[in-house]
Amino acid sequence: MRALFNRSAARRLVMLLLTGGVAVLASAANSVFNSTAALSNVSGENIYSHICQGCHMPHAEGAIGAGHYPKLAGDPALTSWEFVALTVLGGRNDMPAFGASADLVWDGPTVHLSDAQVADVVNYVRSHFGNKYRDKVTAAQVAKLPHPTTAAAP
């Protein structure tokens, strides 16, 4: 049994459950998150509070437990909007990709964010939680970045 269920597999399972739980809670708590079309008028703050804070925590302080969820508060890596946008678009480590095409087949719960929504949440995170980056990224800039075309392996 130990060989079949290693620590890495456990982390992936917990991440899938957390991601699914966050998506389900967001959907249940706010009907705006029931469809991609309804997300069009949602702010970066709302996207963060309904999707991102499930792992990064309400004040972006991060968490360590079944996995490592990096803090975003006062994070010097956020100097680069491209780094943040690429992370949201394609995921990183066990974080899911939120910029994958809406019709991409994925074997777990998926929330697709448009380029405008990615820009909004990037701008929000970079200007809150002790982060003082004032330059704003636009949807057009996000659109020029690579977007996932295939689902990442679990």
Residue recorded with tokens 């392996």: 153
Torsion sign, CA atoms 123, 126, 128, 133: negative
> Mean of the pLDDT values across residues 112-128?
94
Domains in the chain, number:
1
Residue 152 lies in a domain: no
pLDDT digits (tens, 9 = 90+) for 25-57: 444 344 444 444 455 678 999 999 999 998 899
pTM of the full structure = 0.70
Residue predicted with more confidence, 12 or 73: 73
As a whole number of angstroms, the distance between CA 2 and CA 78 comes to 38
Q: Is the pLDDT of residue 58 over 90?
A: yes
Banded model confidence at residue 110, pLDDT cuts 50, 70, 90: low
Centre a 10 Å sphere on the Cβ of residue 37 and count the other Cβ atoms it contains.
Answer: 9
pLDDT score recorded for residue 11: 47
pLDDT digits (tens, 9 = 90+) for 136-151: 999 999 999 998 875 5
pLDDT score recorded for residue 141: 96
pLDDT digits (tens, 9 = 90+) for 63-109: 887 778 899 999 998 999 999 999 999 888 888 888 866 555 555 55
Instruction: Output the six-digit token pair for 4.
Output: 């079949």
Q: Are 137 and 78 in contact (CB under 8 A)?
A: no
Q: What is the CATH number of the domain that holds 99?
A: 1.10.760.10
pLDDT score recorded for residue 67: 77
pLDDT score recorded for residue 105: 54
**Helix locations, the chain, DSSP H:** 7-29, 44-47, 53-56, 81-90, 115-126, 139-143
CA distances from 113 to 12, 88, 116 (A): 22, 9, 8
**Residue 129: domain span:** 7-143
